Amino acid sequence: MSEAAQNSDGSAPKKAARQTEQLSIRRRSPLQHTCTQPHECPKPMRMKILAQVPLFAGLSELALDGIDHRMVSLSYAEGDRLYSAGDPANYLYVVAAGQVKTLQPALNGNDSILDILAPGEFLGGLTVLGRPVYGETAMALVTTCALRIGTDAFREVLLEYPEIALRALDDVTALLQEARSDTSQRATSTVAQRVATTLLQLAGKFGQHGGSGDGTLIQLPLSRADLAAMTGSTPESVSRVMSQLRKDGVVDTGRRWTSILDHNKLTAIAAAEE
Amino acid sequence: MSEAAQNSDGSAPKKAARQTEQLSIRRRSPLQHTCTQPHECPKPMRMKILAQVPLFAGLSELALDGIDHRMVSLSYAEGDRLYSAGDPANYLYVVAAGQVKTLQPALNGNDSILDILAPGEFLGGLTVLGRPVYGETAMALVTTCALRIGTDAFREVLLEYPEIALRALDDVTALLQEARSDTSQRATSTVAQRVATTLLQLAGKFGQHGGSGDGTLIQLPLSRADLAAMTGSTPESVSRVMSQLRKDGVVDTGRRWTSILDHNKLTAIAAAEE
DNA sequence: GCGGCAAACTGATGCCCGTCATGGTGCCCG
DNA sequence: CGGGCACCATGACGGGCATCAGTTTGCCGC
């Protein structure tokens, strides 16, 4: 599945990215989509995914099977919503393939992006148990497949396997720490620092080395507006920062990707103004 | 206990706050300390506290007793640290009496205050299970009594009573939502709005009506620097905002207290710039 | 009561960045 | 291939607020 790269859009076929060692022209796209077509996840694949979910690590085959029976698989096109803020929170989701962004609506329209989720991660469910409605909106960044389980069924699973609940507690706690450090950073840092930090986080989570020779490739369709929503800024400011970073040879960007060329320099920028 | 108001500092005795219907001079102190002396929590009081902890609600007498046996009670003077960021996270704490602030150290020295905890709330433990060290520092705002339990023991309790784990999950999730809405607010709002929001939150959590006739009294030793650390600002800016609020008759402040006089106006300021 | 100190208040200054506006560039569609 | 569109880039401008500095207030010890 990972090798079967197929052209995503209807444009002219690109050269194999593996062979094109250099990016002669900026904005040449080194994309390697792994999954562009909606599909139904067959049973064996679902089991494999469940086994890789950190929350379910170490569970017996039988237990996983029991969980799988309570789940259904769903696929979403780019931009589709898994759920919206205010919807009754009846389901918990696990990302099987693709990426999902969660965003928190604000009164003034300045939504902020809370997180971008990779396969194996959860949404919705962890914010659910006590609350009747979702507090955030979840939207597929690319074509995405997700598994869904009812909150009641998930509750049963947690009661049956308390160690899963403990791990869930850890997960949410980690999110909490992340959110809190985010909050402090928003208060003190400049936009450049916040953008740099965000890029480093994305690189750590989604970055893939090699590919186009040097640098870390982040293959996500993030617009300037998206980055602005992640850093608590505006598209214009983000654009300026990115331009500067490009000029300094720290990053390179394209329509649906970002590449970090100088990891050290970016770290320096994130830590303290250069 | 609640009626036994005793003068806290060594200054001249104040008139009984109940009788003084008006605050003729700004900065007249309407303090009513409930507990100024360090003390050991006796067994019955500990049991009563445990029963009131939301996390343990509905547990049997026997279960509570089992939990109590694994805990020890400790008392702290104002400014004492329960633990510091970076310490090995071996314990979970429950605030029995007093208030505790948790603060997150930043590299530039601009620490930010994460939360202020009232009796019945948890610290440390929920951020512990997966991590070897504390990510934040906990400091007693006033003379405080706390119960302590080892993380391993708490883990056993959670495995024994999975419903507690579920409730803990809810608790942390609530904190997460709070932290996230905080984050979005930092990005978009002005300092005045953030201060107003913070005051309203504190009033909801620690405010007591009556006392000096009108208004909601928040009895916490919060300096301008503390409020700045809570709102992601500076002491000077907070001071300006508070001066303005005082001038407009919205709040009144003293050395160790804050009183909200016009709740509606403060809400209006928090929502949108006046 | 007096001197020392910490915290709070207030003014001046500059900068970051949000806002508005304009021009440029790739992408889609007919 | 050309028009329309969305996104990006870049400049100009202004305001909120952080920073620095100076004064005042309240508190404590001698």
Residue B228 has what pLDDT?
95
pTM over 0.95: no
CA dist., res. A263 & res. B7, Å (int): 59
B95 has a pLDDT exceeding 80: yes
CA distances from B48 to B65, B68, B260 (A): 11, 10, 31
CA dist., res. A45 & res. A96, Å (int): 9
Mean pLDDT, chain A, rounded, equals: 81
Residue B1 has what pLDDT?
37
Place of tokens 């104040």: B14
> Which residues of chain B does A155 touch, with a Cβ-Cβ cutoff of 8 Å?
166
Place of tokens 């770290």: A267
pLDDT digits over B96-124, tens only?
A: 999 999 999 887 778 899 999 999 999 98
B92 has a pLDDT exceeding 50: yes
Helix or strand or coil: residue B102?
strand
Helix or strand or coil: residue B184?
helix
Confidence tier at B168 by pLDDT (50, 70, 90) = confident
Residue A114 has what pLDDT?
94
When scoring B110, B180, B189, B267 by the number of chain A Cβ atoms within 10 A, the one with the most, hence best to mutate, is B180
Residue B132 has what pLDDT?
81
B25 has a pLDDT exceeding 60: no
Secondary structure (DSSP) of B185-251? HHHHS-HHHHHHHHHHHHHHHH-B-SSSSSSEEE-----HHHHHHHHTS-HHHHHHHHHHHHHTTSE
Residue B210 has what pLDDT?
65
> Which residues of chain B does A127 touch, with a Cβ-Cβ cutoff of 8 Å?
173, 176-177
Cβ-Cβ contacts under 8 Å for B201 (sequence gap 6 or more): none
The lowest-confidence range among A18-22, A195-199, A240-244 is A18-22
Tell me which H or E stretch contains B170: helix B162-188
Residue A255 has what pLDDT?
83
Confidence tier at B261 by pLDDT (50, 70, 90) = very high
SS (H, E, C) B241-257: HHHHHHHCCCEEECCCC
SS (H, E, C) chain A: CCCCCCCCCCCCCCCCCCCCCCCCCCCCCCCCCCCCCCCCCCHHHHHHHHHHCHHHCCCCHHHHHHHHHCEEEEEECCCCEEECCCCECCEEEEEEECCEEEEECCCCCCCEEEEEECCCCEECHHHCCCCCECCCEEEECCCEEEEEEEHHHHHHHHHHCHHHHHHHHHHHHHHHHHHHHHHHHHHHCCHHHHHHHHHHHHHHHHCECCCCCCCEEECCCCCHHHHHHHHCCCHHHHHHHHHHHHHCCCEEECCCCEEECCHHHHHHHHHCCC
Residue B55 has what pLDDT?
87
Residue A14 has what pLDDT?
36
Strands B258-260 vs B122-123: parallel, antiparallel or unpaired: unpaired
CA dist., res. B158 & res. B165, Å (int): 5
CA dist., res. B191 & res. B111, Å (int): 17
∠ CA A76-A79-A84, rounded to 5°: 85
State the nearest residue by CA to the C1' of D10. A240
Q: How close, in Å, is residue B179 to chain A by CA atoms? A: 6
Residue B234 has what pLDDT?
95
Confidence tier at B265 by pLDDT (50, 70, 90) = very high
| Residues belonging to chain A with any Cβ–Cβ distance to chain B shorter than 8 Å | 104, 106, 108, 110, 112, 114, 126-131, 135-136, 155, 158-159, 162-163, 165-166, 168-170, 172-177, 179-184, 186-188, 232-233, 271-272
Q: What is the number of CB-based contacts under 8 A between chain A and chain B?
A: 126
Tokens linked to A140:
């597929």
pLDDT digits over B233-257, tens only?
A: 999 999 999 999 999 999 999 888 8
Through-space separation of residue B224 CA and nucleotide D26 C1' in angstroms: 15
| Residues belonging to chain B with any Cβ–Cβ distance to chain A shorter than 8 Å | 104, 106-108, 110, 112, 114, 126-131, 135-136, 155, 158-159, 162-163, 165-166, 168-170, 172-177, 179-184, 186-188, 231-233
Cβ-Cβ contacts under 8 Å for A95 (sequence gap 6 or more): A117, A118, A119, A120, A121, A122, A123, A144, A145, A146
Of A128, A158, A173, the CB nearest to B162: A158
% of chain B at pLDDT higher than 70: 80
What is the number of other CB atoms lying within 10 angstroms of the CB of residue A164?
A: 22
CA dist., res. B140 & res. B162, Å (int): 31
Please tell me whether any atom of strand D lies within 7 Å of the Cβ of B35.
no
Angle between the N-to-C axes of helices B191-206 and B162-188, in degrees from 0 to 180, rounded to the nearest 10? 150
CA dist., res. B174 & res. B135, Å (int): 19
Contacts of range A3-11, beta carbons closer than 8 Å, 24 or more positions apart: A4/A34, A5/A32, A5/A33, A5/A34, A6/A33, A6/A36, A7/A33, A8/A33, A8/A36
> Which residues of chain B does A230 touch, with a Cβ-Cβ cutoff of 8 Å?
none
The lowest-confidence range among A4-13, B46-55, B181-190 is A4-13
Residues making up chain A, counted from first to last:
274
pLDDT digits over A108-149, tens only?
A: 778 899 999 999 999 986 655 556 889 899 999 999 999 999
A168 has a pLDDT exceeding 50: yes
Confidence tier at A7 by pLDDT (50, 70, 90) = very low
Tokens linked to A24:
């002669």
CA dist., res. A212 & res. A19, Å (int): 8
Most confident segment among A57-61, A95-99, B18-22, B57-61: A95-99
Q: Cα-atom radius of gyration of chain A, to the nearest Å? A: 20
A32-45 average pLDDT score: 60
Tokens linked to B51:
């029963």
Tokens linked to A25:
């022209």
Q: Which of B133, B139, B151, B123 is nearest to B223 (CA)?
A: B139
CA dist., res. A180 & res. A160, Å (int): 31
What is the number of other CB atoms lying within 10 angstroms of the CB of residue B170?
A: 19
**CB A78 within 8 Å of CB A143:** yes
Through-space separation of residue A185 CA and nucleotide C4 C1' in angstroms: 37
First and final C-alpha spacing in chain B: 42
pLDDT digits over A249-265, tens only?
A: 999 998 888 999 999 99
**CB B146 within 8 Å of CB B122:** no
Mean pLDDT, chain B, rounded, equals: 81
**CB A172 within 8 Å of CB B221:** no
Q: How close, in Å, is residue B223 to chain A by CA atoms? A: 18
